[in-house]
Structure 1
Amino acid sequence: MNINELQDGDSVYVIYRNPHTQNVATVQEATVTTNPENPHELSLFMYDTYYPLTDEYAMYQTSEEAEQMYEYYFGPTM
């Protein structure tokens, strides 16, 4: 996903790792919004927190795409 194409109000789906338990991850919907600390930047808003909008996040346009990638990386191994 090209973060330069995102606009205020867009929804994305993020594979989010729990900061307290690194082996736990979920797919979470996030909203792209103006950074409240710098109105010239965008941020991700999820879990009542603003996160910097960077390429470091695994972001997807649809929940289906995010779930598919989640299963690929975190699903059971055979």
Structure 2
Amino acid sequence: MNQFKNGDKAYVIYRNPHTQNVATIQEAIITESPENNEELSLFLMDTHYPLQDDYAIYTTYEEAVKMYNYYFEDNEQSEM
């Protein structure tokens, strides 16, 4: 998480909370936290989220696609 700074673009693999087997890559922005301007947050879909290590956040779209394919595309084919 230390690689991000205020204003950076980030790409997140976002799972639909209502349908867990549906995921997409969403562009987000790293911003100051609205609760504490000394901390950064992830601004995604009009909501601020605290930066946490358990989020699938990538610095480039290509990296996000690669990991998405690894976790979702490859696993779907191996289950068939």
Does the pair score TM above 0.5? yes
1:14 lines up with 2:12 in the alignment = yes
Bigger radius of gyration, 1 or 2? 2
Segments of 5+ residues of structure 2 without an aligned counterpart are none
Query: Aligned equivalents of 1:69 and 1:57: distance in 2?
Result: 13
**C-alpha distance in 2, partners of 1:74/1:24?**
9
Instruction: Report the alpha carbon displacement of residue 5 of structure 1 after superposing the two structures with TM.
Output: 2.2
- 2:13 is paired with a residue whose SS is strand
Question: Which structure features the higher share of helix residues?
Answer: 2
* DSSP 3-state at the match of 2:77: coil
Q: Which one has a larger percent strand, Structure 1 or Structure 2?
A: 1
Structure 1 alignment gaps of length 5 or more: none
The one-character-per-residue Cα deviations of 1:12-35 (angstroms, maximum 9, x if unpaired) are 111111112211111111100001
Q: Which residue of 2 aligns with 1:25?
A: 23
Root-mean-square deviation (CA), in Å?
Answer: 1.1
- Give the TM-score of the pair, scaled to structure 1: 0.89
TM-score norm. by structure 2 comes to: 0.87
